Chain A
Amino acid sequence: MARITNPFSTLLNLQQALDTFRTSGWLDAGPSGSGAYPPINVFRKGDDFALIAEAPGVKKSDLEVQIKGRTVRISGSKAVNYPEGSSVHRRERLEGRFDRVVTLPTEIDPEHARAECRDGVLALMLSRAESDKPKTIKVA
């Protein structure tokens, strides 16, 4: 994506780019997990993939990420607490447990995978496994 001086037009570009892929069946090929939470966006950056999930209110200690082969499993729980004796006016936040498995089209190197959770956004940086990278063959 080209960097444009006006940051707001860049956001619009980003939003349009994300919308284009809303109907993509990219992750459909593999057997998908048992849940749909958290919602996930997948990006490609060179050879690597970035998997970004929005999970506001989920504590780092309540979040577990497992990687094996092509699959990534994100599980955990989210709690919404109200102090005792409070009367609730509006309740829009959901709570519960979640367990989601996604299958990527390439093998992932679990040793080089990084997970980061900041401001309720989980970011997984996944490197393609060396064995899965294409080899260039010199034409003699």
Chain B
Amino acid sequence: MSEQHATQYSSAGAQKLAVSEKKELTGSQEKTVPGRFFVPATDVFETEEGLTLAMEMPGVGRENLEVSLEDGVLRVEGRLDFSGYAGMEPVYTEYNVGHYARSFSLSDKIDQDNIDARLEDGVLTLTLPRSPAARPRRIEIT
């Protein structure tokens, strides 16, 4: 999925935006609650300071987000508040709604105390700074 999307990418930003079908969460771990979960579309990039993740979770408010980092596994879960749909009768639909969940195993040592999470326009941005010991060091050759 990621490879296919990467080819559609245009740095100019003038390209027509394509619709990417929401991916349903499938995995060995089944949820104890009924209802489908979706995998948020995620960008991962690395800077010298650490790793940044940008996850698209439309409809998830900050009060319904849960981020945990345990044994090098980063887990993000966003719960959808669907109470607004009460009393509404669907007549035409193109996408489905649901909670979001995704986990990543991290190879770097993360400075757990300085993880920064921001939610803006349905996009969660997680900044995971490397612990000082894992930062790249420049070694001077004498």
Contact = CB atoms under 8 A, between A and B. Distances in A.
Interface of A: 1, 3, 8-12, 14-15, 17-22, 24, 26-27, 35-45, 49-50, 54-60, 77-80, 82-83, 85-98, 117-121
26 contacts: A11-B80, A12-B35, A15-B98, A18-B90, A21-B90, A24-B93, A39-B94, A41-B90, A41-B92, A41-B94, A42-B91, A44-B88, A44-B89, A79-B13, A88-B43, A88-B46, A92-B2, A92-B20, A92-B42, A93-B5, A94-B8, A95-B10, A96-B10, A96-B15, A120-B58, A121-B58
Contacts of A18: 90, 93, 95-97
Main secondary structure of the interface of A (DSSP, over half): mixed
Given A18-B95, A96-B17, 16 more contacts: A11-B99, A22-B93, A27-B92, A39-B95, A44-B89, A44-B91, A45-B88, A57-B123, A77-B17, A92-B41, A92-B43, A93-B54, A97-B16, A119-B59, A120-B58, A121-B59
